[in-house]
Amino acid sequence: MDAAAVKALAKSFGADQVGIASAKVLNAFPPDPLFPQTPERISKHVKSVIVIVQHIPVAAFRAKQNVCVQYIDMLVLRRMDRIAFKLAAALEDRGHPTFVTAAQETDWNYKKASYGRLSTRHLGIEAGLGTFGLEVNILTPEYGPRVYLTGILTELELEGDKPITEQVCIGESCSRCLYSCPSDAVRHFGIDKRLCSTEAQEFGFGQITGYVDKMLDAPLEQRKEMVKGQDVFGFWQGLLRVVGSFGDCPRCLAVCPVGNDYHAFLAEPQKEIPEKNPEKVAKAKRFKDARQQGTLPPGLNDWNRRWVGPEGYKGMVARQVQAFKKKQKEREALAEKKDA
Per CB under 6 A, the list member of 80, 186, 243, 266 interacting with ligand SF4 is 186
Q: Does 175 bind ligand SF4 (CB under 6 A)?
A: yes
Comparing CB distances to ligand SF4, the nearer of 152 and 196 is 196
The pairing of beta strand 190-191 with beta strand 98-100: unpaired
Residue 36 vs 310, nearer CB to ligand SF4: 310
Indicate whether 136 belongs to the interface with ligand SF4 (CB under 6 A). Answer: no
Nearest to 15 by CA among 133, 117, 127, 116: 127
Q: Whole-angstrom Cα distance, residue 9 to residue 15? A: 9
Question: Contact letters (x/-) for ligand SF4, 258-297, by CB under 6 A?
Answer: x---------------------------------------
Query: Apex CA 147: angle with CA 296 and CA 169, to 5°?
Result: 30
Where do runs of H (alpha helix) occur along the chain?
3-12, 23-28, 67-93, 120-126, 176-180, 193-200, 205-217, 220-227, 230-241, 251-255, 260-261, 278-293, 305-308, 316-339
Binder of ligand SF4 out of 31, 133, 259, 299 (CB under 6 A) = 133
CA distance 271 to 249: 18
Region of 36-44, 70-78, 134-142, 286-294 interacting with ligand SF4 (CB under 6 A): 134-142
Is 185 a residue that touches ligand SF4 (CB under 6 A)? yes
Q: What are the backbone angles phi and psi of residue 119, rounded to the nearest 5°?
A: -95, 110
Q: Which of 100, 196, 266, 273 binds ligand SF4 (CB under 6 A)?
A: 196
Phi/psi for 262 (5° steps) reads -70, -50
Backbone dihedral angles phi then psi of residue 301, each to the nearest 5 degrees: -75, 175
Q: How far apart are CA 149 and CA 158, in angstroms?
A: 19
| Among 46-54, 61-69, 175-183, 218-226, the segment contacting ligand SF4 (CB under 6 A) | 175-183
Position among 199, 232, 297, 306 found at the interface with ligand SF4 (CB under 6 A): 199
Binds ligand SF4 (CB under 6 A): choice among 91, 134, 153, 208: 134
Q: Are 25 and 307 in contact (CB under 8 A)?
A: no
Candidates 46, 169, 242, 300: give the one binding ligand SF4 (CB under 6 A): 169
By CB under 6 A, the residues from 231 to 260 that bind ligand SF4 are 249, 251-252, 255-258
Residues that bind ligand SF4 (CB under 6 A): 133-135, 139, 169-171, 174-177, 180-183, 185-186, 191, 196, 199-200, 249, 251-252, 255-258
